[in-house]
Amino acid sequence: MPTPAQVTVYTIGHGRHPWEEFLALLRRYEIELLADVRSVARSRWVQFNGQVLEAALRRARIGYEWLPECGGKKIAPPADLARGLDRIIELAADARVAIMCSESQPLTKHKQPRANCHRVGLLSPRLRERGARLIHILPDGGTLETDESKLFSIW
């Protein structure tokens, strides 16, 4: 199995994207598996509710795994969080993976940008500590790479 230093983990937020635009972003970056890191796999936008999302991804030939142990609205116990992070690394060693939460923008627009969600403020620094490269997919299709450990975060 490849070492964590050999894996790249993409991140994406579903935001208010129509399904077709969200899918286009995943396809643009050749994502093979979407790891849903929300503690609760539901959204006010129906296309991003866990079962609906999983079925739509399956039709698009993209895998789906829900990892509620990665936290989100609920703080994950340290052992659960570690297990979730290990699973992300394991998945990324075998496939092109994007971790997904609901916030579309990874950073705020403050003068000193802040982590805008737990995938950036909580998960990314810990994945980077495990040797992963993190690439944040932006709503406009661009990407961002940054040292998340230097960002202010409530996580």
Q: For position 114, which CATH number holds? A: 3.40.1010.10
The pTM assigned to this predicted structure is 0.91
Query: Residue 124: what pLDDT?
Result: 96
Asked if the structure places residue 87 within a domain, the reply is yes
pLDDT at 1 over 60: no
Asked if the structure places residue 74 within a domain, the reply is yes
Cα→Cα distances 74→4, 30, 39, 81, 99, Å = 27, 30, 6, 11, 17
Asked if the structure places residue 155 within a domain, the reply is no
State how far the Cα of 102 lies from the Cα of 54, in Å rounded to an integer: 15
pLDDT at 122 over 60: yes
Please report, rounded to a whole number, the percentage of residues in the chain having pLDDT higher than 70.
96
- The three-point CA angle 105-78-51 to 5° equals 55
Domains in the chain: how many in total? 1
* Residue 32 zone, left/alpha/beta (φ > 0; ψ -120 to 50; rest): alpha
pLDDT tens digits along 86-97: 999 999 999 999
Q: Which domain holds residue 90?
A: 4-150
